[in-house]
Structure 1
Amino acid sequence: MLDERWSEEVEEIGGTLRKLLVKQSSPELVRTAEETNGILPGLQEELSAFGLDDLQADPELFVRIAYELGRALAPTSYVETIPILALTGISGVSYGFEGPVPADVRSVAIRRDDGVYLEPLTGVAKRSSAGDFLVEHHSSPETGEKIGDCALGDRIYRYASLIQAAKMTGAGQELLEYGLNYAREREQFGKRIGSYQGVAHRLVNAAVILDSAELLIRKAAFTALETAGGDGAPATEFAIMARAKAVEASRLVATTVHQTFGGNGFAMEYNVQLYSRRLRSWATRGKRTGGELAELGRMLLDPVRRDASRMIWHHDVGMPLPRWAREADATCNFDRPLYEPITLDNT
């Protein structure tokens, strides 16, 4: 059974990592990294000393690490290497199935028709709007070492969706906290702006959506466990839902906090822009969530795939369709084209 709280061990490790990041990845240091090559060598050394490079753990712990690194906007490529490390034990290899990869890694995992391969990273590093230095990897069929089949590729993809969601949710939580503190202190017309309903209601709405994203990420990590019937990576349904919810929540919190700060939100001396630029950049990497949610809908309308789904709502296996979906399924012929050709008689 899923416990909605972080486990004691994960909470302890996450708290210790947060204390380290307060010193090694402060907003001032993040700005420094943004002005140079996008990384902090001291941070990389501290994370290695923390034991992250050789870590083998359940998905919950890796999710919490990604959450904390996102919360601190840590200038490190470690988050992008988690899926390969967690599922193969190979460290320092970036996930590269789609989109750019961090410029400071040496190897990237790519997917081909017959499986997953490791290739040396090749390409020109470019600075993104978020201050990251990224490379569009140029894959070559002549290079690479095969490390797994297509099933491994699918597991890596699902795991990466979960890790990306955790990273965005962590950054969103820290940005929201920053906005809440500002609303408690900033005064307009003789009152703190947090006392105005127009401000308070927006912040509360952002908090609710972020909390739901965090809970969904915890549920997705739980579905990956072998004891819960998983294969080491989150179930497809939860991988899609977790990332889609994190994208929605991160975009909303960025907009909400900018509105809370007003014009100050665009001033470089405030940290709002540090977080919002990264959240918007991270949200646009990878597949569009709309297409993935459409695929999720098709999965749940397919009786075979729907009956094989696990832990949707309070159902252990499968899920009943709501009445409107059953009626639509019974009356619609989905094999028929949406538009049928017609012949016009001009006589």
Structure 2
Amino acid sequence: MIMKLAKHILSIVVFLFVALSFVFLAERGMSATDKTQSSLDRVYPANDQNQFVGGPLMIALPQEVRAPNISSEVYFCQERMPLEFTDIYERFDQELLRNTYWHSSTLLNMKRLGKYFDAIGAMFDRYNIPPDVRYLAIAESNLSNVVSPAGAAGYWQFMKATGSSYDLEISSEVDERYHFEKATEAACLFLRDLHRQIANDFPNTKTPWTLAAAAYNMGYPALKRAMTQQQVDNYYDLHLNQETARYVFRITAFKVILEHPEDFGYNLSQNDLYAMEETYTVSVDTTLRDLTDFALSRGTTLKELKRLNPWLRSNTLTASPSKPYVITLSSEPQVHQD
């Protein structure tokens, strides 16, 4: 009898021990949770909706995401885009969407407009190139001195053969595809020639500048061959490779967004735009054996020399009185002079 009572009492003690252990652990867990919550409340106060503002993975980023409204007719170089056709509408709408919501790229392009577009516009006016064609430089390079996998280089993405045919010097020391002014002038001449060829070969076309832009991208021989084989003379009727099929739509989307940025949610002031810095030029008619020495002798550095003259491709420059070069230097105080 005593043994049975002892076993019964022992069972009750074990049960009470286990139960109290669970209660203790639960209270410790609640305490830790309450402590963490209290810390978060102090560091990241709750808003009126009792939701955290800020803090890890809780950043409030208010924005309105909606489809751009294409409510008016769209033109490229005064050549109408036939948006009444479903295919044309969708292709343009897709480029408009991509670039409206590719915020970093679109903002950078807006900033770079302030630095380059006036100079490009002045050059285009000289050669009677429509201003809309300026946006081709954004489609080609985002207004940057870049190199494509195929080897096209500079703001206007000239291949070596095409650049050389428009008098751009391309050598181990000098590559004028990276020279903003000279490459822009070459692009004007190239585009003017493309327009003339298209107007001559397809006199009834209603989209000569649109076709010139397409030819800039894929080459005129290939474009002419496609037009002849398909028996059409309008860009919007052509079956082309994917890149060229998107090309004019991309350029026109850039134009629409960048000419009316507020309509697409972008608000930049004049101070937000990049600007050309004050510079001066020096003429060099003797060979420079070491561009670092030349830069230091002019109170600057090799980095600054190459930044303002990206067409200098090595550390030497072979020049002579019959073949001088004009080098741009900054008028601003240099960092190393501080």
Tell me if TM exceeds 0.5.
no
- Give the TM-score normalised by structure 1: 0.22
Q: Normalising to structure 2: TM-score of the pair?
A: 0.22
Larger Rg: 2
